[in-house]
Amino acid sequence: MISAELLKQLLSLAAALFLLTAFALLAQRHMHALLRWFAVQGVLLAATTALVAYAANVHELYISAFLALVLKGLLVPWLLWRIVIRLGAHREVESLVNIFATMLIGAALVLFAYYVSLPIQELSFVVTRNIIAIALACVLIGMLIMITRRKAITQVVGFLALENALFFTATAATYGMPLVVEIGVAFDVLIAALIFGVFFFQIRSTFDSLDLKHLEVER
Amino acid sequence: MKLWAYNILQAALLIGLSPLAAAVLRKLKALLQNRRGPGPLQTYRDLVKLFNKEPVLPDRASWIFRLAPYVVFAVTALSAAIVPVILVHTPLSAVADVITLVGLLAMARFFTALAAMDLGTAFGGMGASREMTFAALAEPAMLMSVFILSLAAQSTNLSTVTDTMLNADLGLRPSLAFALTAMALVAIAETGRIPVDNPATHLELTMVHEAMVLEYSGRYLALIEWANQIKLMLFATLLINLFVPWGIAMEATAVNMAFAASAWLLKLLALFVALTLMETWMAKMRIFRVPEYLGLAFLLAILGMLTHFILEVVI
Amino acid sequence: MSLFDLLLGIPLLSGVVMALINRSPIAARLNIAAGFLTFVVALALAFQVLEQGSILAHEQAFFLDPYNVFLVSLTAFVAATTAIFSRTYMLHEEEIGRVTASNLRLYHAMFQLFIFGMLLALTTNNLGVLWIALELATLATVLLVSLYRTPAAISAAWKYFILCGVGIALALFGTILIFSTSSETLGHGNDALTWTLLYKNAENLTPQVITIAFVFLMVGYGTKVGLVPMHAWLPDAHGEGPTPISAVLSGLLLNVALYALVRCKTLVDGATHGDLAGKLMMGFGMLSLVVASMALHRQRDIKRMYSFSSIEHMGLMTFSFGIGTPLANFAALLHMTVHSLVKSGIFFTVGHAAQGMKTQNMIGIRGLIRLQPGIGWGLLLGTIAIAGFPPFGVFASEFLLMTAALQSYPWTICLLLPSLVVAFAGLFRHVQPMVFGVPPEEVRAVRVNMLPVYIHLGLALVLGLAIPGFLADWYHNAADLLHRGAQ
């Protein structure tokens, strides 16, 4: 067992790293690097979950840590990478985004998340309550990724990063949701990733491109 | 009085060793590239040679052009005196804090740019404009990252910060990691290393700092080169003593100080090896990417600040 | 083997079976059979609840109370009639080559899976599972929206997927926040998300945390309900998918999402004793009502027009639940029922009309009553019903709603009434030429099955004339249950 103070510090560290990966995803232009950071985020998530499982002595969490590692750290990034290769999109670079401005918006979102979660921090009794702010910020950054990106795959990565942030909230701020819920959510995410894969091919075969600007059909 | 002597001594040590440091860096790089490279004393010989040569001044050079190298050297040497090197608490560092340090460096930069523009040559103007653009981004990032440390130490005084880092039980602080990364990025940009600038290049498209000092020769060039070497050493020392100050002397005893000096030199060496590895591994980035790079440093510093307030301040 | 197992097992199992059946006529028949079996089980469950009151099953994992049991039967019923309609409709689509046999296999499997998702969402006692089930229902329908593989369909499905995905992710965040405060009193386990326990212990939940959680849940589930301004996906998804899917999306899925939202609202009411959640719902509901009723006028596509009408009615229900008095809840529940019946009936008719006229564009649809009186009358009566004319049930529920609004917030009438009139004008402006004009030369009648439409409209009529006693009791029970939290 590790002491509560050390656990708190380790979790804070994990939260900071998680925030860093969220920003890295926000800033990446290259598909390859993007997916790599995404995998890093998944592994970080798994490590945090395992840490909480060990420290709080919740055995169920080992299962979700394992799920996170396999699904989010390995399987989904690998699947996405395979799809990217098969679609021949692995060299694509997104040029539209003004990275620095986006990053500043991201920083503003962190501030916003902090203010939103202040009441929670003041009232909650959980040791790790301040992580909710970071987690909410990561959720918002995931949304920002989805808003700023115009490519189907990067948008999906944003979506999955958002999902990762939710998992992170669940483990770090509440020591994990009940097992049924964790597994159910993981299952949903897996199906979502598969459907995304199907979609890439549908979009590709209909529009000859994965650029989402083609999707704005006149109605 | 004794402390004053130590203060001057450690500043002199930093200034005196800085050509050696530059030479070591060059040697390490050569070794990595399978060359023999110049010996460790080559930089001293270069400086001596330059000091002995008669400087050639351009026709249009005004007194600013001649004054600038002295100002740059003096200011850089002064900033070397306010940084804790071997001894934490020194009289000069007690009166000057980190904002002074950034101000002194800005002054050096200002005079370099002024001298570069004084001649009205194309290169000088170009170099000055690039340098000032980068500086406008680098300085806030630098200040921000030091402020994170100051928040932890509750003081902007460098000695106090070092003291806190050394003695207070700070635990794991993610914000410090952010600050360290941001500061390292800024240091690379400020000292003109790869990937921001290449001190060895004189290609007009890519020069930043070299473009500004292109017209200098003789003792003026020597002063500027030396000032640059001091600056490199200064930033390295700053990084070391702010983030990994272990070994630095709290009291001015001989044993402590000898130990501190050797620790300092070892850490410097390790840092330089890391720097060389990075310089060999990376390519210089396009000049228009540099603002983005510095923006990243600034952002990391902001993130560090935010994580400090969110994760580390106990409400 | 309890009835619960059957209720959830039938759709799940038949979904799996239909994924294996390649012959679409058989699958379509099986779809109907499964729908009716589910409905019978739902009815049996409903009578059980009627006799015994609320029931829990599988160690509190599932439960039925007066509030959800009527939604379960409604869902099962509309699913069954949609299956009848879908048989005629989809086989025609296959004949004209808009879908292939393998697409139909996907369609039938996903249809049942979607029903399973909704029934699970309605019957589960766990807020986390509720979220999972709603997400499952979304995922099941995403590929159905893009079934036709046209550019418009694919972009609609993408929008649906992404927007609902983000929305529902926020709802999960809200759920996690609830868990973070409830696990302090109910222990770190399934209990802390079990609705019945949460409802009992609402006093012990931290009001501030619950309030913030509700904001996330509101935005999250509100996206799924199709509330303005999170509604952008809804007209596209309903307009581009196959019509049976539009019918169940509009008639059922929106209800289920609203159900989830209202469940969460009762918790907030219990924890805070304030009316913040209600006010929030009233605001979103009113905004949806106003915006959708105006947007109705600008539509060109017939299915998009009716989906805006769905937004309008969902707004109305959200508003009514937001008022939160027993009368308002009663009105909202009744409105939920009649809207589901009428709207799915309308979509059935619209599907046939679009097949007959070979277009969904309202300019191309003319003279339905001359070409095929069945469709023409169906569309006319359906529109009359949804616009809130007596003697249909929508009139009754809207009348009750107005009364409730007048009692609690009289000034809202100034917005409610004009919006309803504007929506009515918008609907009839488009529907009248479609029904009465001269049909284009080249169209000819198609095989239709108007039986489900007549059943739906007939039921809506009955509900408008006189609500059967047991149903009224039921609504009263549910309305009180929802109101109790606010006291």
What pLDDT digit, counting tens, does each position of B111-169 carry?
Answer: 999 998 988 888 888 889 988 988 888 899 999 998 888 888 888 888 888 888 888 77
Q: Do chains C and A touch (3 or more CB pairs under 8 A)?
A: yes
Q: What is the pLDDT of residues B224-278, one digit of tens each?
A: 999 999 999 999 999 998 888 888 888 888 888 899 999 999 999 999 999 999 8
Query: Concatenated DSSP letters for A20-55?
Result: HHHHHHHH--BHHHHHHHHHHHHHHHHHHHHHHHHH
How far from chain centre, in Å, is Cα A191?
Answer: 16
How far is it, in rounded angstroms, from Cα A57 to Cα A170?
Answer: 16
Selected residue of A188, A190, A207 to mutate for chain C interface (largest C Cβ count, 10 A): A188
Q: What residues contact residue B122 under an 8 Å CB cut-off, 6+ apart? A: none
State the average pLDDT for chain A.
Answer: 83
Residues from chain C contacting residue A123 (CB–CB below 8 Å) = 206, 208-209
Q: What is the largest CA-CA distance in chain C?
A: 71
Residues from chain A contacting residue B295 (CB–CB below 8 Å) = 99-100, 103
How far is it, in rounded angstroms, from Cα C220 to Cα C177?
Answer: 13
How far is it, in rounded angstroms, from Cα C218 to Cα C264?
Answer: 9
Q: What residues contact residue A57 under an 8 Å CB cut-off, 6+ apart? A: A1
**Is the interface score ipTM higher than 0.85?**
yes
Q: Do chains A and B touch (3 or more CB pairs under 8 A)?
A: yes
Contact C148, C104 (CB under 8 A): no
Return the residue matching tokens 């979506």: A159
Q: Do A110 and B310 touch (CB under 8 A)?
A: yes
How far is it, in rounded angstroms, from Cα C434 to Cα C356?
Answer: 12
Contact B190, B138 (CB under 8 A): yes
Of A15, A103, A111, the CB nearest to B295: A103
Q: Do C131 and A185 touch (CB under 8 A)?
A: yes
Give the per-residue pLDDT at C316: 95
Measured CA distances, C88 to C82, C94, C394 (Å):
10, 10, 28
Q: CB of C106 within 8 Å of any CB in chain A?
A: no
CA terminus-to-terminus distance, chain C: 39
Residues from chain B contacting residue A16 (CB–CB below 8 Å) = 174-175, 177-178, 303, 307, 311
pTM of the model: 0.86
Return the residue matching tokens 């009553």: C369
Q: Do C151 and A206 touch (CB under 8 A)?
A: yes
Amino acid identity of residue B127, one-letter, is G
Average pLDDT over residues C249-276: 90
Query: How close does chain A come to C50, measured CA to CA in Å?
Result: 30
Q: Which two tokens stand for residue C102?
A: 């393998």
Q: CB of A9 within 8 Å of any CB in chain B?
A: yes
The residue range of the domain holding B214 is 2-312
Q: CB of A115 within 8 Å of any CB in chain B?
A: no
From the CA atom positions of chain B, what is the Rg in Å? 19
Query: How close does chain C come to A188, measured CA to CA in Å?
Result: 7
pLDDT over threshold 70, residue A95: no
Give the per-residue pLDDT at C322: 93
Q: Please name every residue paired with C55 in a beta bridge, in sequence order, or none if there are none.
A: C64
Find, among C285, C288, C313, C257, the residue nearest to C409 by Cα: C285
Q: Do A131 and B171 touch (CB under 8 A)?
A: no
Q: Please name every residue paired with C124 in a beta bridge, in sequence order, or none if there are none.
A: C62
Measured CA distances, B170 to B149, B152, B166 (Å):
11, 8, 9
Q: Do C151 and A214 touch (CB under 8 A)?
A: yes
Measured CA distances, A138 to A45, A157, C283 (Å):
13, 13, 28
The total number of structural domains that make up chain B: 1
- Going through C255-410 in order, the beta strands assigned E by DSSP cover none
pLDDT over threshold 70, residue B304: yes
Q: CB of A15 within 8 Å of any CB in chain B?
A: yes
How far is it, in rounded angstroms, from Cα B26 to Cα B275?
Answer: 11
Of C126, C142, C149, the CB nearest to A180: C126
Q: Looking at chain C, which subunits does it touch, using at least 3 CB pairs closer than 8 Å as the criterion? A: A
Helix (H) or strand (E) holding C56: strand C55-57
Q: Do A27 and B296 touch (CB under 8 A)?
A: yes
B91 versus C284: which is more confidently predicted? C284
Q: CB of A19 within 8 Å of any CB in chain B?
A: yes
Q: Which two tokens stand for residue B292?
A: 């983005």
CB half-sphere exposure, A71, CA atoms < 13 A: 25
- Could you write out the three-class secondary structure of C189-240? CHHHHEHHHHHHCHHHCCHHHHHHHHHHHHHHHHHHHCCCCCCCHHHHHHHH
Average pLDDT over residues A188-217: 80
How far is it, in rounded angstroms, from Cα B263 to Cα B245?
Answer: 9
Q: What is the pLDDT of residues C59-104, one digit of tens each?
A: 888 888 888 888 999 999 999 999 999 999 998 888 888 888 888 9
Residues from chain C contacting residue A187 (CB–CB below 8 Å) = 132
pLDDT band, residue A216 (cuts 50/70/90)? low
The total number of structural domains that make up chain A: 1
What 3-state DSSP class applies to C361? strand
Amino acid identity of residue C129, one-letter, is V
Residues from chain A contacting residue B310 (CB–CB below 8 Å) = 110, 114, 130, 133-134
How many C-beta atoms lie closer than 10 Å to residue A111's C-beta? 15
Amino acid identity of residue B221, one-letter, is L
Of C157, C176, C212, the CB nearest to A174: C176
Q: What is the pLDDT of residues B11-26, one digit of tens each?
A: 999 999 999 999 999 8
Q: What is the pLDDT of residues A114-143, one digit of tens each?
A: 888 887 766 655 556 678 888 889 999 999
What angle, 0 to 180 degrees and rounded to 10, lies between the N-to-C axes of helices C326-357 and C451-465?
150
Determine which of A201-210, B239-248, C107-116, C289-298 has the lowest per-residue pLDDT on average.
A201-210
From the CA atom positions of chain A, what is the Rg in Å? 18
CB proximity under 8 Å: C 450-469 to A: none
Q: Do A20 and B303 touch (CB under 8 A)?
A: yes
Q: What is the largest CA-CA distance in chain A?
A: 61
- List residues of chain B with CB under 8 Å from any CB of chain A: 171-175, 177-178, 291-292, 295-296, 299, 302-303, 306-307, 309-312, 315
Of B173, B295, B311, the CB nearest to A130: B311
pLDDT over threshold 70, residue A49: yes
Q: Do B311 and A12 touch (CB under 8 A)?
A: yes
Q: What is the pLDDT of residues C6-19, one digit of tens each?
A: 889 999 999 999 98
Q: CB of C481 within 8 Å of any CB in chain A?
A: no
Q: What is the pLDDT of residues C446-486, one digit of tens each?
A: 888 888 999 999 999 998 888 888 888 888 888 888 887 65
Q: Looking at chain B, which subunits does it touch, using at least 3 CB pairs closer than 8 Å as the criterion? A: A
Q: Which two tokens stand for residue C40?
A: 């019978």
Residues from chain A contacting residue C276 (CB–CB below 8 Å) = none
A162-187: burial string, b at 16+ Cβ within 10 Å, e else: bbbbbbbbbbbbbbbbbbbbbbbbbe
Contact C158, A199 (CB under 8 A): yes
CB proximity under 8 Å: C 115-134 to A: 126, 128-129, 131-132
B224-242: burial string, b at 16+ Cβ within 10 Å, e else: bbbbbbbbbbbbbbbbbbb
Q: Do A174 and C179 touch (CB under 8 A)?
A: yes
Give the per-residue pLDDT at A128: 62
The residue range of the domain holding A210 is 4-215
Q: Do B292 and A99 touch (CB under 8 A)?
A: yes
Q: What residues contact residue A20 under an 8 Å CB cut-off, 6+ apart? A: B178, B303
C455-483: burial string, b at 16+ Cβ within 10 Å, e else: ebbebbbbbbeebeeebeebbbbbbebbb
How far is it, in rounded angstroms, from Cα B159 to Cα B97?
Answer: 8
Supply angle C-alpha A175, A176, A182, rounded to 5: 175
What 3-state DSSP class applies to B312? helix
Contact C52, C147 (CB under 8 A): no
Give the per-residue pLDDT at A96: 58
Q: Which two tokens stand for residue C89?
A: 């409709």
Q: Do A16 and B171 touch (CB under 8 A)?
A: no
Residue in chain A closest to C206 (alpha carbons) equals A123
Residues from chain A contacting residue C189 (CB–CB below 8 Å) = 178
Q: CB of C171 within 8 Å of any CB in chain A?
A: no
Find, among A197, A200, A194, the residue nearest to A71 by Cα: A194
Q: What is the pLDDT of residues C169-202, one digit of tens each?
A: 899 999 998 988 888 888 888 888 888 888 888 8
Q: Do A174 and C184 touch (CB under 8 A)?
A: no
Q: CB of C272 within 8 Å of any CB in chain A?
A: no
C250 versus A172: which is more confidently predicted? C250
Q: Looking at chain A, which subunits does it touch, using at least 3 CB pairs closer than 8 Å as the criterion? A: B, C
How far is it, in rounded angstroms, from Cα C293 to Cα B292?
Answer: 47
Of B172, B295, B296, the CB nearest to A10: B172
Q: What residues contact residue B151 under an 8 Å CB cut-off, 6+ apart? A: B175, B305, B308
Residues from chain A contacting residue B178 (CB–CB below 8 Å) = 16, 20
